[in-house]
């Protein structure tokens, strides 16, 4: 299993808008992607830090979600409404242990 982590600083006062957008638009789009296994959204309301963790069945599935334009479409949704205070940082990992 593979994981994509996206870390971003939110514009002040925009955490609830970002959460709503993630639940209402990003998750449904993710669920339509091949190999998508689940997602977590972590938000620090005190600092405005936003961390998205998505799980993918294989590395090929994770890569396909980027090559198809899916990933960039999701980032554009947030950028389009001004909730990001900076550029998102994207990292990928192999899931070594899961319980």
pLDDT in tens, 11-70: 999 899 999 999 999 999 999 999 999 999 999 999 999 999 999 999 999 999 999 999
**Which of residues 79 and 19 earns the better pLDDT score?**
19
Model pLDDT, residue 57: 98
Q: Picking from 2-6, 12-16, 78-82, which range would have the lowest pLDDT averaged per residue?
A: 78-82
Q: Which fold has domain 2-92?
A: Alpha-Beta Plaits (3.30.70)
Given a cut of 90, whether residue 80 has pLDDT beyond it is: no
The DSSP bridge pattern shows strands 89-94 and 49-56 to be unpaired
Report the half-sphere exposure of 69 (CA within 13 A, side-chain side): 1
CA distance 97 to 86: 31
**What distance in Å separates the CA atoms of residue 48 and residue 86, rounded to the nearest whole number?**
11
pLDDT-derived band at 81, boundaries 50, 70, 90: confident
What is the pLDDT at residue 78?
Answer: 87
Q: For the chain, what are the domain ranges?
A: 2-92
């Amino acid at each position: 299993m593979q994981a994509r982590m996206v870390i971003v600083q939110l514009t002040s006062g925009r955490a609830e808008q970002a959460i709503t957008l993630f639940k209402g638009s990003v998750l449904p789009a993710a669920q339509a992607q091949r190999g998508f296994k689940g997602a977590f959204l972590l938000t620090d309301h005190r600092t405005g830090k936003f961390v998205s963790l998505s799980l993918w069945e294989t590395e090929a599935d994770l890569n396909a979600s980027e090559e198809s334009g899916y990933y960039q479409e999701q980032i554009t949704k947030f950028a389009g409404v001004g909730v990001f205070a900076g550029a998102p940082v994207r990292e990928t990992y192999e899931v070594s242990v899961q319980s």
